[in-house]
Chains A and B, each alone.
Chain A
């Protein structure tokens, strides 16, 4: 995994876990890699991974079964979507809006673009 420049590492690891869950690589009730395994895999401090796992626990995306490890929560996919939606609305959308405003892009044009994007990428 390549880390990007500008986002806190523990949040990038959270995105990595969320993506695995959304893509069903890790399914509900399955064990996620231990803190140590994840730290070794990503070459980061185990305390950073612990911080990620605590965040994901608070969002009910994973849960901690004492003595056994961390598991994907039952409602994980719905909760990942909630979490990612909040992030998108708060962090990414303002950047898009700024450009839409600065470049005078009309909503009709965006709608057309959006429709063909969905068609090309998700409806084939």
Chain B
């Protein structure tokens, strides 16, 4: 559904953020995009949505080149940025002005989402809190029925009940013909929601694997002592939380924070496992 080939991108020509980055995304998945501050998560998402232009490389999003910004593609992209601006109008006026760009916009679904998110209709957008605004654009974005959903830190600013609501809404928004990619630092908000992990580091994709593949190959567990089979470990109350190769077909629960740190610090040990 989405293919990136040898993408080279930098805000500054001399300093590239991505070097020959390649990756594929398919429909029917929720991808979790992880990376340190400045690793390029938002920038990658902007490239996919045609908001910035790459120096070189080839991108195919639903059969289009996003940099051309053709309406036929843009009407199939829902982009929830981390920072956004909303005009000083009421919700109805906002929808009236913007829904027309999305031929499949579902007004009933939009109303349901607002109700689920507890946003009173008829509010003025500038009177709303950041969290409320965020929920509004998430509701609007999903109601467009776009095939490609891009979300940059969607749970930032959401209160505790809204985060649970968000997870429920996303679980039901994933359909076989939809591709969802979410960047986040709040891994605990989303760790059961994503089925494939993409980690950016050192100008490229450091890891892209489904949760199933990761837990087939690696085991996340508590150990009392560290030995040389361990890939990465962090001290905890009762010993260590460790990442070890999954020699005995054990089932364990993916610990995204632990995996994240393992990928950053133990690239050499992980690379052969995932190739």
Query: Residues of A at under 8 Å CB distance from B?
Result: 3-9, 11, 36, 39-48, 51
Contacts and interface: CB of A to CB of B under 8 A. Distances in A.
B30 interface: yes
Interface residues of B, number: 23
10 contacts: A3-B253, A6-B222, A7-B252, A8-B215, A8-B254, A39-B174, A44-B167, A44-B171, A45-B171, A51-B212
B195 A45 contact: yes
A43 B30 contact: no
B194 A45 contact: yes
A11 B253 CA distance: 9
Contact of A45 (B164, B174, B222, B252): B174
A8 B192 contact: no
A43 B192 contact: yes
Nearest to B194: A45
Contacts of B251: 7-8, 11
A119 B30 CA distance: 49
A5 B188 CA distance: 12
B253 A6 contact: yes
Contact of A36 (B172, B220, B252, B253): B172
Contacts of A42: 171, 192
Contacts of B254: 8
Interface centre among B30, B192, B221, B254 (most CB of A within 10 A): B192
Interface string B17-29: 0000000000011
Contacts of A46: 171, 174
B193 A44 contact: yes
A9 B111 CA distance: 32
